[in-house]
Structure 1
């Protein structure tokens, strides 16, 4: 397991202090460090909610790349112009989308997006889930407690959003009860998250 340390200038209050690199995003991280290898120096990044797409994009922008986050909701003509400007300047262009492919009406843009490198963040394995638990707890200043991963990892939802929601719920219950985050809190947090119709980040 490894991590990319983020400069303070690109951190936000609701972001982890680091980007956890594991099985789900290692290929993406490797590709972002070698934009000179991208076809037309253009890549499209997709992944599940809360999987760190925007965080990786901000890191990439901090390295001098050009980024369009939410490209699937942007004006297609503007995206096409940004692609042209990136080609003229030799600046690598990273396009972040919630879905790939997305519906593109402009034929010229559609052909260029088809030629780009397509990167996807996958599902975290147990090792990455454990590291994400620690990262989210660290970002909240939460002492998760010894043995937390052993208990939580086999039981929690295998999704980035689910992991974040669980840590937030543990933090809330611990604060409400004014007790450390130990087994009873972990168990009740799991029950609360698994019983909710729709997880909410708090």
Structure 2
């Protein structure tokens, strides 16, 4: 059988429920998303490290509930009434910290969505107390919101993440590559994404399949701290 070589194909990120691998690191958060109809106060905060699956879970919830997804930085006061007619997921809330207009718009969206009897989901890294929000009313309401936390990846989740990242790039590494990487790579979601990008680039540049040997070469040449 011919070995698979890398091709410069577009990466297609799978964000459906079937593509979300469940492990002890995310099972509680997923269960809370599944129980969205009974969220305390009609709202939930979803937190976790960079690339931990917050966007993926937001899309899973949107598919289940019919919610709209909006980036916090793109939210404007004029959009609030229309958005509040249904469920809403607001992503990357920390990105608007210190922006009075954006924080005010989010505060009004929070209040109007709940007043209309709908559900609202907020996402961001770390805890709400570390989001740096400056509007006291918004900060207090989010700090009082139940939080679902995505933990750092265990071996099972890291393995599944690597498989998914390779699949998104339409790549099929040799079977021994995944366990080899898991035992030696930076144990983070962001590290997994960066590593797969480098392996894809190396495979293309050298016109070689992704093998343990290529993986060792890429790991040996990672920048310090990567």
TM-score (norm 1): 0.83
Q: CA deviation at 1:72?
A: 2.2
What RMSD over aligned residues (CA atoms) do the two structures have, in Å? 2.0
Q: Structure 1 runs of 4+ off > 3 angstroms?
A: none
Contact 1:76 1:106 survives alignment (8 Å): yes
Contact 1:72 1:99 survives alignment (8 Å): no
**Residues 13/90 of structure 1: CA separation in 2 closer, same or farther (3 Å cut):** farther
Q: CA deviation at 1:155?
A: 0.8
1:82 counterpart residue number: 109
Match of 2:13 among 12, 15, 19: 15
Q: CA deviation at 1:13?
A: 4.7
Task: Work out the number of aligned pairs and report it.
Answer: 186
1:128 counterpart residue number: 157
* Structure 2 unmatched runs, 5+: 1-9, 68-87, 97-101
2:143 counterpart residue number: 114
Cα distance in 1 between the residues matched to 2:192 and 2:164: 10
Higher relative contact order (CA 8 A, sep 6+): 2
Superposition map of 1:3-82 within 5 A: 13=11, 15-16=13-14, 18-62=19-63, 63-65=65-67, 66-74=88-96, 75-82=102-109
Contact 2:52 2:152 survives alignment (8 Å): no
Deviations 1:126-147 (A, max 9, x none): 1111111111111111111121
Q: CA deviation at 1:119?
A: 1.7
Higher Rg of the two aligned structures: 2
1:164 counterpart residue number: 193
Cα distance in 2 between the residues matched to 1:121 and 1:71: 16
Cα distance in 2 between the residues matched to 1:13 and 1:188: 23
Contact 2:174 2:210 survives alignment (8 Å): yes
* Greater shift in the superposed pair: 57-66 or 176-185: 57-66
